[in-house]
Amino acid sequence: MKRTALLLITMIALAGCGKTSSPDGRAQLRDQELSQRIDALEQKQIVILDSIRSLNEKEAINSSQSN
């Protein structure tokens, strides 16, 4: 009985030792998520800037052809 109780307490203690159980662990998870979001935004920004550059080049070509 004592052995089972000790095993159960140990299992509960180990289950509570995850990353989300400590402030540092939660901060690391938050920072990791924010980093991934920033990376995704940077990729979207690159696509948008490439589109703008392409549109500007087309506009420049059309302007030079009409002159």
Q: How far apart are the first and last CA of the chain?
A: 94
Question: The pTM is what?
Answer: 0.60
Average pLDDT, the chain: 88
The pLDDT of residue 9 is above 90: no
Compare 57 and 18 and report the one with higher pLDDT: 57
Residue with tokens 């159980």: 21
The pLDDT of residue 13 is above 90: no
Please write the tens of the pLDDT for every residue from 22-50: 788 889 999 999 999 999 999 999 999 99
The pLDDT, as a whole number, for residue 16 is 67
Residue 18: CB partners within 8 Å, gap ≥ 6? 25
Three-class SS string for 10-65?
HHHHHHCCCHHHCHHHHHHHHHHHHHHHHHHHHHHHHHHHHHHHHHHHHHHHHHHH
